[in-house]
Structure 1
Amino acid sequence: MPEIVEVMQWTDLIIFDYITGNYDRIASNQDAAEKEHIPEILADNIHNLRRDKQTNTIWLIDNESGFLDGYELMRNPKKSAEAKRFISFHKQMLNSICIFRKSTIRNLNKLHFHGNPAEMLLSEVHRHEPLSDFLPKIPEKLKFHETMKSRISDVYDRVQLCKRRFRRSE
């Protein structure tokens, strides 16, 4: 049973990094392995991730390469080979999973069916972060709202494909 819990933690990590556009965890290892022609890099420890020794829980740390930075990197894949590469790495990882926690699916559904999940996220930040009024505005060129909604839809579509493929319900 601990193995299935670990798989689902990795699935959550992949979904989180996909939605946020975080390229400084698994995708960076994929990039290094491909550029250096050393596939063994993928078996190395993933930085920006720690495992609790007592509970075996995975902790995601140092997520600054997500959302604004990640969305900026991947915003124009036609002009940037690097953007194309990281988009491809994220798609590969997303397409490698088909086991999901029920709670993850419930939360994904909330985000997917919400009219504007980015606005929901920003509202939560403003509600819970006392210094949020001092944060800079998100540049329009990032298309933050559209990008986040699109990436959530990609994950939702993946879940639906897995459900059809394995004919399992939530």
Structure 2
Amino acid sequence: MLRTLRRKLGKLCLWAVTATAVTVLWLHSEIESQGEQGSLHTGRLERRVQQLPGDEPNLATRTLASQIRDDRYKDGRSLNGTDTDSRLKTFSQYGFRVVEDGIFWSEELEVLVPAGESDNDWRRTLTSIRNATVLEMYDDAPCGDRTSKKNALIRLSDGNLMCVRYKSSCWLYGEVLSFHLSRFLGFHNVPLVTLSHLNQEHPNWRNPSVQWTMKESGWDEDGTVSLMQWLDDATEDVPVPPFVKGDIKQLNSSDPTLQQLTRDELTILIQYTDMVIFDYLIGHYDRLMFHEFHSDLNQPTHNALRQGNKLWLIDNETAFFFALKLSPAHRLVTMRRFLESVCIFRRKTVERMRTLASDVDSAVEMFTNTLSDWEPTFSAMRDTMSCRILKNWPLLYIDYKQTLRDRIKDVYAHINNCEKAVGS
């Protein structure tokens, strides 16, 4: 009887395993099928983007979808569905895995990267900031770059501290576009930024004592400023990345220095690899190119702050308009070189770029809709944006949507090249 019972249990287990495998294969084919059809309609692409790791909607579906994607890589399948050597892994001298599948940061390091605010959280914070009243203005406090003496630190009635940038529109728009694009891409390393119009009817500026300070500071009553989240416990202790210092030509899985870095050092380095992609997309040359012209590479990374192991990318005002319209050609070549100096990526970043590149027109249109929803100023500039570098300068015009299309394709092509190099 015992032998018979064992045979029955064995058959039952075999049936359960087979049924589970069939279910997983069906789900896999369904997700792949939806992915192929998603490029036909913006709404379908939106559902695909929302299911990527790091977003809020549909946690159960997202977890299952990301697990199937991860399993595809672990089984030795590449971005293009070709065979790769799944044994391409790099281990630290401290015993933990650093790189897996040749181009991905390991899962055990990924979980160490501090998360940013969820989409629901930052939207709730943004709404609160827009309806809050400025209680105090500290116009003598250091806030933002030192090129504008009219910048100020403010304390709002909802408890938030914000850095007010008083500048011409191109600089302000660059900051706001950068923030919203970072959230759209799933990067949580850019502080919240929003525009605020300077008039007494706006909830932010109805405090009489603040109005007096604004007048004394020479602020235009009909002007616009940006309010950027203040990081009061952040430090400038952000070392220059090794691929900028020239210590290595390219950050890839064969780099022996990876084995010598601690978990904390690698946690910052992982965020650097997102930073390089982000800066290329927005045309922000200032952060890394700053160190091209300064011999002291032991100084902190320009326009970057740190809270523990969280990297913050600040002062993105040169993005888009200034960088892409006025920058000499050699700067764009240098930015391309920085992009190509990185060949290890976060798995979720690769998934995000692959989804966007699969239907780049719909992806950029989605971003435009999101931007218009949360920053009404941009609703009238959906195709061609315009701004001024200085108050009395002529308007600059830029087709930022075409720029994004081209650069998303560039980034994903580079990721593919890195994978091909590993597989060769």
Classify the TM-score, shorter chain.
0.7 to 0.9
Give the direction of change, closer, same or farther, for the CA distance of 1:8–1:158 in structure 2 (3 Å limit): same
**Separation in 2, partners of 1:5, 1:114:** 31
Aligned mate of 2:275, from 13, 32, 54: 13
> How big is the shift at 1:162?
0.8
Residue 307 (structure 2) pairs with residue 45 (structure 1): no
Distance 1:23 1:115 in 2: 23
TM (norm. structure 1) is 0.76
Q: Deviations over 1:8-58 (max 9, x none)?
A: 21010000000000122112322x23xxxx3x3x442122210112xx110
Whole-angstrom distance in 2 between the partners of 1:87 and 1:132: 26
Contact 2:357–2:408 (8 Å) recurs in 1: yes
Q: 1:158: how far off?
A: 0.9
Task: Write the distance in 2 (CA, Å) between the matches of 1:154 and 1:10.
Answer: 18
Residue equivalent to 1:86: 331
Contact 2:273 2:342 in 1 (8 A): yes
Amino acid at match of 2:304: L
Q: 1:111 matched to which residue of 2?
A: 356
Q: Partners of 1:9 and 1:131 in 2: how far apart? A: 31
Aligned to 1:99: 344
* Alignment partner, residue 138 of structure 1: 385
Residue 273 of structure 2 corresponds to residue 28 of structure 1: no
8 Å contact kept, 1:50–1:59: yes
Structure 2 distance, partners of 1:71, 1:114, is 23
Task: Please say if residues 290 and 302 of structure 2, whose CA atoms lie closer than 8 Å, have aligned partners that are also in contact.
Answer: no
Q: Which amino acid aligns with 1:125?
A: L
Q: Which residue of 2 aligns with 1:164?
A: 420
Question: Which one-letter code corresponds to 1:89 in the other structure?
Answer: T
Alpha-carbon RMSD across the aligned residues, in angstroms, is 2.5
**Aligned counterparts of 1:114 and 1:69: Cα–Cα separation in 2:** 27
Q: Which amino acid in the other structure matches residue 51 of structure 1? A: R
1:57 aligned partner: 310
Structure showing greater radius of gyration is: 2
1:77-133 Cα offsets, whole Å, 9 max, x none, are xxxxxx222112201111110010011111111221223243222211122335544
Note if contact 2:270-2:345 (Cα within 8 Å) is conserved in structure 1.
yes
% identical equivalent positions: 29
Match of 1:148 in 2: 404
In 1, Cα distance between the equivalents of 2:381 and 2:313?
Answer: 23
Secondary structure of the residue aligned to 2:300 is coil
Q: 1:120 to 1:43 in 2, by over 3 A?
A: farther
Q: In 2, are the aligned partners of 1:118 and 1:144 still within 8 Å (CA)?
A: no
> 1:123 is aligned with what amino acid?
N
Paired residue for 2:230? Answer: none
Q: 5+ unaligned residues in a row in structure 2: which ranges?
A: 1-262, 387-395
Q: Which amino acid aligns with 1:20?
A: I
Give the letter for the 1:110 counterpart. T
Residue equivalent to 1:78: none
Say whether 1:126 aligns with 2:385. no
Listed as ranges, the gaps of 5+ residues in structure 1 are: 75-82
Which letter does structure 2 place at the counterpart of 1:48? Answer: N
1:80 aligned residue: none
Q: TM-score, normalised by structure 2?
A: 0.33
Distance 2:353 2:359 in 1: 10
SS in 2 for 1:25: helix
Q: Choose between structure 1 and 2: higher strand proportion.
A: 2
Contact kept? 1:11, 1:100, Cα under 8 Å: yes
Supply the AA of the counterpart residue of 1:67: F
